[in-house]
Structure 1
Amino acid sequence: MKKKKRYVTLNARNRAEILYEDSQVIAVNKPAGILTVPISGMKSANMQEALDLYLEPQKRRAQTVHRIDRYTSGVVLFAKSSRARTRLMEQFRNHQPARIYLALVRGVPDPPEGELVHYMKRIKDGFRNVIVPEGDPDGTRARLLYRVIEPFRDTSLVEVALDTGLKNQIRVQLAEIGHPTVGDRHYASDEQEEKLIDRQALHASRLEFHHPATGEIVGLEAEIPKDFKRLIAYYRSR
């Protein structure tokens, strides 16, 4: 018998599917446009506060372990205890969890699979990262692996295995090699793409981590949202 899906309400238009929950952790499929955590001075729906309300009957709070960008959809994991948070954050610091993303990018990367290593730093506006030369005192190493899943005429569907997990890392590194994420207004604005999708075409599709209490591997997968599916169908049909 198929298990009934459960959701957390975010606002009048959005809800997030609960992908996994036990006494120590909770994971959701975050919709694009929703913040992972609240931002000071900004009144906007966010995943952490919505989960706090959901967890009130359990007398628990959602504790941040990692984040994904506001306009990226997909798997986000929260701890339900301080001990679980500490153990999970150690895994993320050591780049142990497997974090797999799907991205629709301009063009077709050549070679069709490979490793990208760059150095990045945050610019003064606080919202964007840029590539800097190795050795820059403000630079932080960024590494990912990519693989073209399906090439289209002038775009392609790419799977990305994220290693280091810096802010906007996938978007910055793919743009640097000439294959920016479709719909990305920060790093490669395009009016035609913005008519097709109102956010960057990036989805955190899978996450694997060691359970903070048992040590067992937990694998989670987030379904691709409708706007992303429509975009794939559009490029596939051209």
Structure 2
Amino acid sequence: MGSEKTLSNKDNLEVLYEDNHIIVVNKRPGDIVQGDKTGDKPLSEVVKSFLKEKYNKPGNVYLGVVHRLDRPTSGIVLFSKTSKALPRLNKLFQNKDAQKTYWAVVKNEPPKQKDSLIHFLKRNPKQNKSYAHIKEVPDSKKAILHYELIKKLDNYYLFKIDLETGRHHQIRSQLSAIGCPIKGDLKYGFDRSNKDASIHLHARELKFQHPVKNIPVHVIAPPPSDPIWDACV
């Protein structure tokens, strides 16, 4: 099943796929998936408003958050529209049966064209940052990703990344550990921020079995439009 893209005028919501049980949207950098201490309107509430208006629903709209993306990151976010689908989707992600592919733009050439990275990430909640260690340290979690250099730009390099584990700031921390911090990511060693406070990390592709229909779903999200991303597509 391919992606079906529609653009809602309301709140600039880009819907990539929707049926009775699930809705997949393309998150803009800067949007938060769930509410936090900033008090900014989260993407989950934007999607609820969209569904309420589209289907003229009275009362509250049910929406389950299946997974999250960091605020400065863009790309695919999957929500559940039914209480039947949510636990099945949660199980799918817990069992690593959902295949997630990311794109990342970095300044430095990687040590290898293609590699698997294994680190032990230790999270520092006060700094909201994860530190990558080669060997296991107390309170660390094993993190595995596979990257491939898929395009050389004038001043940057485009990586395709397949995640095997889903740790806090995993891609950002692991790429930084090999000397390839993501464009705009000051927290993980890039030399300057992007003007819109985004980072060039994008959840590009998602493949999974539909939780109710049991058919394959494959969604691809176009990256945000800027000169660097436009050169990647």
Is the TM value for this pair above 0.5? yes
1:51 match: 47
Does residue 25 of structure 1 match 2:22? yes
Q: What pairs with 1:80-119 in structure 2 (closer than 5 Å)?
A: 80-119=81-120
1:124-157 deviation per Cα after TM superposition (whole angstroms, max 9, x unaligned): 3162111235332311111111000112455211
**2:121–2:131: 8 Å Cα contact kept in structure 1?**
yes
Q: Which has the higher contact order (CA 8 A, sep 6+)?
A: 2
- Identify the residue that residue 221 of structure 1 maps to in structure 2: 220
| Residue in 2 that maps onto 1:74 | 75
2:35 is equivalent to residue 38 of structure 1: yes
| Deviation of the 1:165 alpha carbon | 1.5
| 1:183 alignment counterpart | 184
Q: Percent identity?
A: 33
Q: Is the 8 A contact 2:5 2:15 kept in 1?
A: no
Cα distance change on mapping 1:214 and 1:233 into 2, 3 Å = closer
Compared CA separation, residues 233 and 87, structure 1 to 2 (3 A): closer
Q: Describe the SS at the equivalent of 2:71.
A: coil
Cα pair 1:55 1:61 within 8 Å, conserved: no
TM-score (norm 1): 0.86
Where 1:104 maps in the other structure, the secondary structure is strand
Other-structure match for 1:159: 160
Tell me which residue corresponds to 1:170: 171
Q: Could you say which residue in structure 2 is the equivalent of 1:209?
A: 208
Work out the CA distance in 2 between the residues paired with 1:133 and 1:176: 9
Structure 1 unpaired stretches of 5+: none
Could you tell me how far apart the structure 2 residues matched to 1:233 and 1:152 are?
11
TM-superposed CA distance for 1:198, in Å, is 3.4
Contact in 2 for aligned 1:72/1:201 (Cα 8 Å): yes
Deviation at 1:103, TM superposition (A): 0.6
Tell me if the contact between 2:5 and 2:17 (Cα under 8 Å) persists in the aligned partners: no
**CA offset digits 1:13-66 (Å, max 9, x no partner):** xx1211111111000001000001111x32213110111222233463221100
Matching residue's letter, 1:210:
Q
Tell me the number of residue pairs that the alignment of Structure 1 and Structure 2 aligns: 224
Query: Aligned equivalents of 2:21 and 2:188: distance in 1?
Result: 37
